[in-house]
Chain A
Amino acid sequence: MKRKLVLAALVAALILLPFAVFANGSKESSSKGPSGDVVVYTALEEDETADYLAVAKKELPNLNIKWVRYSTGELAAKIIAEKNNPQADVIWGTAVTAVAGMKDLLQPYKPAGWDKIPKQFKDPDGYWTAIDMFVAAFCVNTDVLKKKGLDMPTSWADLTKPEYKGEVIMPNPGSSGTGYLQVASILLWKGIKNGSNEGWDFLQKLHKNVVEYTNSGSAPAKIASKGEIAVGASFGYRVAKQKASGYPVALVFPAEGSGYELESDAMLKNAKHPAAAKAFLDWAITKHAMEGYSKYKLMVTLPGIESKSEIPLPPAKDVKLFPMDFNWAAKNKIAVVDKWTSLFQDKTKPE
């Protein structure tokens, strides 16, 4: 009888073991110190993040930084799905147009050194603070151009020409921050704020040449690099990176001016580790952190730090930027994406 009870207890223990093990595990790690853990969701690329964090670990030795990388859309979905019980404390480096749309889930916080960041790069109430800028660019596979006898495209207008039919890939503005900045910049360029519909007409023309709208902003550059297509509309750093890893691609900034987007930090409402979150956000705009970003970015938001990219990015002043209106872009995101989806999402087959 006793043995049976012991065995029954054993069976029950075996069944409950996984829960017990992981429950204990989590308690242990959080009892190391109240400011020990900080959970970071980021949309920065994984390889660059690893470099930044090497610096962060040196300067914040008491923080146990747990991070996970999502695409801009994935990150937003995670934050929303978890909103009743946030798992993350901090959002680090995601598209500002995505963050600005969910202020109800954020906790305003002005990190130390906030005053040094120019006002166009931060929310006046401290909901978000931008750390860097990324810029739309084309990834053009020169090998494919040669094989197909195509000219180097230099502008968005070029991409609407019939000879590029079936040779263009773009990101989906719904899921990709890059995709949205491209679409928003085209709409703004064609004067949507004055009630003009020309932007949508232009996108319509572009749509005829596009074979696929990808989920992420880096995918078009990657697909073009592989030689699967001639032109991928992506962003500057990604294209330069592909070039540096040996692909026969050219980095082209559209002649109309490149749309750009800010990558920004924010703190989650009801974050479980507020003190640690603040410490991390403070660090994220320090000079050292910014110097880290500058190795990968065209431009960082802290004045006085030049881009020191190890891969060949042109100096920021040589890139023609399209004057973006982030307030407009953030406010109209849902409407624009909805309209875009109903017009273009039926792009299902390469014609």
Chain B
Amino acid sequence: MSTVSMLNTSSHKRKMLSEKFLVYLVGGIIGAFLLIFMLLPVVNILRLSMTQYSTEAHDFLGKFTFGNFVNYFSKPVMIQSLYHSLWIAVWSMIITTVLAFMFAYGLTRTTIRWKKALYYIAMVPLVAPSLLQAMALISLFGSNGLLTQLLHLKWNIYGANGIIISEVLYCFPHAMVILFTALSAVDSRLDEAAASLGASGFTTFFKITIPTTKYGIFSAAALVFNLAITDFGNPIIIGRGYHVLSTEIYLQVIGMQRFDLGTTIAVILLVPSLIAFMLNYYFTKKSNSMISSLAKPEIPPSRPLKKAGFTAFSWTIAFILVSIIGVIVFKSFIKVWMYNWHFTGTHYQFKIPGGIGVLWTSFWISLFVAVFGSLFTMLNGYVIEKKKPFFAQPLYLLSVVPAAIPGLVMGLGYILIFNTKFLNLDNIFYGRAAIVIVNVIVTNFTLGTLSSISNMKNIDNSMEEAATSLGAGVVRSFIRVIFPLNKVSFTSNLIYYFMRSMVTISAVIFLVSPDVHLASIAVINLEKDGLEGASAAMATLIIAVVFVTIGILAIFSRNKKIGKPAAAEE
């Protein structure tokens, strides 16, 4: 009897030990992954920005200097790009937040119809590369745009205004999701109570609705600021000489081969984007603490005028968002935009390296990104939230930093460090598909991890305990209990990663190589080469692939929540 129990305890101990080992192993691998592929390239950029560079020797000379920063801040031409970036980001932030708030308010606090349709339409910009907005705006409102000519408009879409409008269109879904969550989380009976106490609609709105959702508003605003200041695709297309930090990095590195100035500007861009991210993060936490678990009462019928107003507003926004994509799809079938309106399919015959195969490359790379990205972030959330090893805090910190790092900076960091003899990664990694896959997983790591953590929080510990006491090991209980309970968040992470990977430009523009040609980069290259029809055609195909893939996933998992981006789960 005693031998049996002794055997039991020793096997139990061994089991505990092996489980602990497994958690350490998984957490350790993820931590090492982030250290190597996120922190190291960024720290290296920081180091290089303070290293002397010789344009004759084409190399960093290894001497420490602040010269690059002095150089940047002493040239008015250079410092201008910082002002420009801030200007763009602030205006995009204000406009997007206001519009997205009104839209989300309409969806959550009024009784307008077709809410689900409106919600999904608002998500549509997520399926397109971030230069599509600028391309569409030029086709419509450029000096020789369709609407400019039809309506004899005199205004100029290029420069700051064009960038801001593009960014608003691009950032809208991101802000909308956060505000939608904030507005639906706060108990709307507060509004009702105020109204029944005689407060006017405006008083209620400003004294109750806004204050109760303020953290959601701040969090959305900070996110938009971050997205707008780091975006590259839209400013490069529609900026027309209006240099912002991200285009300046590209111009310095690619145009002038000035790696010193490129890394310096990258560091300067890192500062506002890091601050915006930290604010977003802080407010998101605050906002989540406001979430009320009270039952959501029925919304009382909105007054006819209010209902009509919000219906008109929402559908106008929805119409604009769909038109932006519609214009590009339409353009891809037009022979010569503005000059020859015959329909043609010739733009779909791509004369580019890789040909139509770039779409296939993008597709399978995105599949890898989606599977490994959502798997990694789920395991990560599990280790951090449920297993809490001693390194849970540092791992958590490492996991949330990527959102603060602009894709362009990360891409630059990658080419500067992974083509050295370092770790001998140059032969198996640099110039191959793996570098793109890892880069996209890392740049989008934050949202995935956060959504996974918040999901883990909702899973009662007793579930796993029950499984363990019934004899299931950590692996088994993860597969049988945790994973099934995480299916929804796993699938939405899958979709989120897949979409990001198909459309991202800034992160991977430095990483394409003879072996890896990507569809989103083809869009920007074709546009730069003046083949705007072909560029629109490639963008159309990307959108089609994303829609079809999401559709297939939705059919397979038969889940209504599918299509909601990961952010909606927060």
> Which A residues contact B (CB, under 8 angstroms)?
1, 3-4, 7-8, 11-12, 14-15, 18-19, 21-23, 25-26, 39-41, 45-47, 49-50, 66-69, 71, 73-74, 76-77, 80-85, 87-88, 102, 104-105, 143-144, 172, 174-176, 211-213, 215-216, 218-219, 221-222, 225-229, 238, 242, 245-248, 334, 337, 341-342, 345-350
Q: Which residue of chain A has its CB nearest to the CB of B142?
A: A228
The 8 A-B residue pairs whose C-beta atoms are closest, nearest first, are A175-B255, A222-B530, A227-B144, A66-B514, A212-B241, A23-B428, A47-B351, A246-B336
**Interface residues of B toward A: which range?**
35 or more
Q: List 9 A-B contacts (CB under 8 A).
A: A7-B475, A46-B353, A50-B353, A71-B254, A81-B419, A175-B255, A212-B241, A216-B529, A246-B335
User: Does B25 sit at the interface, judged by CB under 8 A?
Assistant: yes
Point out the residues of chain B lying under 8 angstroms from A26, CB to CB. 427-428, 432, 515
With beta carbons under 8 angstroms apart, the residue of B56, B256, B335, B517 that contacts A337 is B256
Quick check: B80 and A81 within 8 Å, CB to CB?
A: no
With beta carbons under 8 angstroms apart, the residue of B56, B59, B84, B530 that contacts A221 is B530
Given contacts A26-B432, A248-B339, A346-B80, 10 further A-B contacts (CB under 8 A): A4-B473, A15-B376, A19-B434, A22-B432, A218-B530, A245-B336, A349-B159, A349-B160, A349-B242, A350-B240
Q: Produce 1/0 per residue, B255-272, CB < 8 A to A.
A: 111010000000000000
Quick check: A11 and B428 within 8 Å, CB to CB?
A: no
Point out the residues of chain B lying under 8 angstroms from A82, CB to CB. 415, 419
Quick check: A219 and B22 within 8 Å, CB to CB?
A: no
User: Does B63 sit at the interface, judged by CB under 8 A?
Assistant: no
Q: Which residue of chain B has its CB nearest to the CB of A15?
A: B29
Point out the residues of chain A lying under 8 angstroms from B240, CB to CB. 211-212, 350
User: Does B174 sit at the interface, judged by CB under 8 A?
Assistant: no
Quick check: A144 and B529 within 8 Å, CB to CB?
A: no
Within 8 A of A (CB), among B73-114: 75-77, 80, 84
With beta carbons under 8 angstroms apart, the residue of B158, B242, B428, B475 that contacts A4 is B475
Distance (whole angstroms) from the CB of A17 to the closest CB of chain B? 8
Point out the residues of chain B lying under 8 angstroms from A77, CB to CB. 253-255, 257, 259
Point out the residues of chain A lying under 8 angstroms from B229, CB to CB. none
User: Does B18 sit at the interface, judged by CB under 8 A?
Assistant: yes
Quick check: B138 and A76 within 8 Å, CB to CB?
A: no
Q: Which residue of chain A has its CB nearest to the CB of B18?
A: A4
Quick check: A85 and B255 within 8 Å, CB to CB?
A: no
Distance (whole angstroms) from the CB of B80 to the closest CB of chain A? 7
Distance (whole angstroms) from the CB of B11 to the closest CB of chain A? 9
With A247-B339, A342-B77: A87-B419 Cβ-Cβ less than 8 Å:
yes
In whole angstroms, how far apart are the Cα atoms of A211 and B239 in the complex?
11
In whole angstroms, how far apart are the Cα atoms of A15 and B29 in the complex?
9
In whole angstroms, how far apart are the Cα atoms of A21 and B365 in the complex?
12
Point out the residues of chain A lying under 8 angstroms from B242, CB to CB. 348-349
Q: Produce 1/0 per residue, B226-264, CB < 8 A to A.
A: 000000000010001111000000110111110100000
Q: Produce 1/0 per residue, B417-453, CB < 8 A to A.
A: 0011100001111111110011000000000000000
With A19-B428, A226-B338, A349-B241: A215-B530 Cβ-Cβ less than 8 Å:
no
With A85-B420, A342-B77: A19-B353 Cβ-Cβ less than 8 Å:
no
User: Does B317 sit at the interface, judged by CB under 8 A?
Assistant: no
Point out the residues of chain B lying under 8 angstroms from A25, CB to CB. 432
> Which B residues contact A (CB, under 8 angstroms)?
14-15, 18, 22, 25-26, 29, 55-59, 75-77, 80, 84, 138, 142-144, 156, 158-160, 236, 240-243, 250-251, 253-257, 259, 335-340, 351-353, 368, 372, 375-376, 415-416, 419-421, 426-434, 437-438, 473, 475, 512-515, 517, 525, 528-532
In whole angstroms, how far apart are the Cα atoms of A73 and B18 in the complex?
54
In whole angstroms, how far apart are the Cα atoms of A84 and B253 in the complex?
17
In whole angstroms, how far apart are the Cα atoms of A68 and B516 in the complex?
9
Quick check: A350 and B514 within 8 Å, CB to CB?
A: no
Quick check: B257 and A73 within 8 Å, CB to CB?
A: yes
Quick check: A222 and B433 within 8 Å, CB to CB?
A: no
With beta carbons under 8 angstroms apart, the residue of A104, A175, A227 that contacts B338 is A227
Quick check: A226 and B475 within 8 Å, CB to CB?
A: no
Quick check: B530 and A225 within 8 Å, CB to CB?
A: yes
Point out the residues of chain A lying under 8 angstroms from B372, CB to CB. 14-15, 18
In whole angstroms, how far apart are the Cα atoms of A80 and B158 in the complex?
33
Point out the residues of chain B lying under 8 angstroms from A104, CB to CB. 57-58
In whole angstroms, how far apart are the Cα atoms of A172 and B340 in the complex?
30
Distance (whole angstroms) from the CB of A164 to the closest CB of chain B? 15
With beta carbons under 8 angstroms apart, the residue of B22, B144, B529 that contacts A8 is B22
In whole angstroms, how far apart are the Cα atoms of A334 and B254 in the complex?
15
In whole angstroms, how far apart are the Cα atoms of A172 and B245 in the complex?
17
With A341-B256, A349-B242: A216-B76 Cβ-Cβ less than 8 Å:
no
Quick check: B241 and A174 within 8 Å, CB to CB?
A: no
Point out the residues of chain A lying under 8 angstroms from B530, CB to CB. 218-219, 221-222, 225, 238, 242
Distance (whole angstroms) from the CB of A99 to the closest CB of chain B? 13
In whole angstroms, how far apart are the Cα atoms of A21 and B15 in the complex?
33
With A73-B255, A212-B241: A22-B433 Cβ-Cβ less than 8 Å:
yes
With beta carbons under 8 angstroms apart, the residue of A15, A215, A238, A248 that contacts B255 is A215
Quick check: A348 and B84 within 8 Å, CB to CB?
A: yes
Point out the residues of chain B lying under 8 angstroms from A22, CB to CB. 428-429, 432-434
Distance (whole angstroms) from the CB of B476 to the closest CB of chain A? 8
In whole angstroms, how far apart are the Cα atoms of A23 and B428 in the complex?
5
Quick check: A4 and B241 within 8 Å, CB to CB?
A: no
Point out the residues of chain B lying under 8 angstroms from A247, CB to CB. 336, 339
With A19-B429, A222-B529, A334-B55: A213-B515 Cβ-Cβ less than 8 Å:
no
Quick check: A66 and B528 within 8 Å, CB to CB?
A: no
Distance (whole angstroms) from the CB of A203 to the closest CB of chain B? 16
